[in-house]
Amino acid sequence: MVIEGTCYINREREKGEKGRVCVTGAGGYCASWVVKLLLSKGYTVHETVRDPDDEKKNGHLKKMENSSNLQLFHADVMDYDSLSRAISGCEGVFHAASPVPSGQLTDFQKELVDPPVKGALNVLKASHEAGIKRVVLVSSMAAVVNNPKWPKDIHMDETCWSEMPSCKTAEVTRDYPRLEGKIHALVDVRDVAEALLLVYENPKAAGRYIWVAYSLKFREMAEIIKRRYPNFEYTTEFTDEKGNKEFNSEKLKSLGWKFRPLEDTLVDFVEYLHEAGLLKWKESF
Ligand SMILES: NC(=O)c1ccc[n+]([C@@H]2O[C@H](COP(=O)([O-])OP(=O)(O)OC[C@H]3O[C@@H](n4cnc5c(N)ncnc54)[C@H](OP(=O)(O)O)[C@@H]3O)[C@@H](O)[C@H]2O)c1
The string of DSSP codes covering 152-177 is TTS-B-TT----HHHHHHHHHT----
Q: CA torsion, points 15, 19, 20, 22, in degrees to nearest 10?
A: -150
Q: How far apart are CA 133 and CA 217, in angstroms?
A: 40
Q: How far apart are CA 204 and CA 221, in angstroms?
A: 35
Residue percentage of the chain with pLDDT more than 70: 89
Give me the amino acid identity at 202.
N
pLDDT, tens digit, 9 for 90 and up, residues 102-150: 777 788 888 888 999 999 999 999 999 999 999 999 999 989 999 999 9
CB atoms within 10 A of CB 80: 18
Backbone angles phi, psi at 181, to 5 degrees: -90, 15
pLDDT, tens digit, 9 for 90 and up, residues 191-243: 999 999 999 999 999 999 999 999 998 889 999 999 999 888 888 888 777 66
Given ligand 1 and candidates 1, 22, 30, which is best to mutate, with the most ligand atoms within 8 Å of its CB? 30
* CB of 35 sitting under 6 A from ligand 1: no
Residue 247: DSSP 8-state: B
Domains and CATH numbers, the chain: 1-138 (3.40.50.720)
The number of the ligand 1 atom at minimal distance from the alpha carbon of 79 is 32
pLDDT value for 9: 46
Q: How far apart are CA 93 and CA 21, in angstroms?
A: 6
The number of the ligand 1 atom at minimal distance from the alpha carbon of 75 is 33
Which residue, judged by its Cα, is nearest atom 22 of ligand 1?
28
* CB of 98 sitting under 6 A from ligand 1: yes
Q: How far is the CA of 183 from the centre of ligand 1 (A)?
A: 24
- In this predicted structure, the answer to whether residue 101 has a pLDDT above a threshold of 70 is yes
Type and span of the H or E element at 60? helix 55-62
* CB of 86 sitting under 6 A from ligand 1: no
* CB of 138 sitting under 6 A from ligand 1: yes
Which residue, judged by its Cα, is nearest atom 2 of ligand 1?
30
pLDDT, tens digit, 9 for 90 and up, residues 51-98: 999 999 999 999 999 999 999 999 999 999 999 999 999 999 999 999
pLDDT value for 198: 98
Q: How far is the CA of 31 from the centre of ligand 1 (A)?
A: 8
Q: Do strands 134-137 and 2-4 pair parallel, antiparallel, or not at all (unpaired)? A: antiparallel
CB atoms within 10 A of CB 152: 9
Q: How far apart are CA 146 and CA 166, in angstroms?
A: 5
Q: How far apart are CA 234 and CA 226, in angstroms?
A: 8
Q: How many CA atoms lie within 13 A of 121 on its CB side?
A: 6
Residue (of 24, 17, 2, 3) closest to 84 by Cα position: 24
Give me the amino acid identity at 32.
S
* CB of 72 sitting under 6 A from ligand 1: no
Q: How far apart are CA 137 and CA 120, in angstroms?
A: 8
* CB of 117 sitting under 6 A from ligand 1: no
Give me the amino acid identity at 178.
R
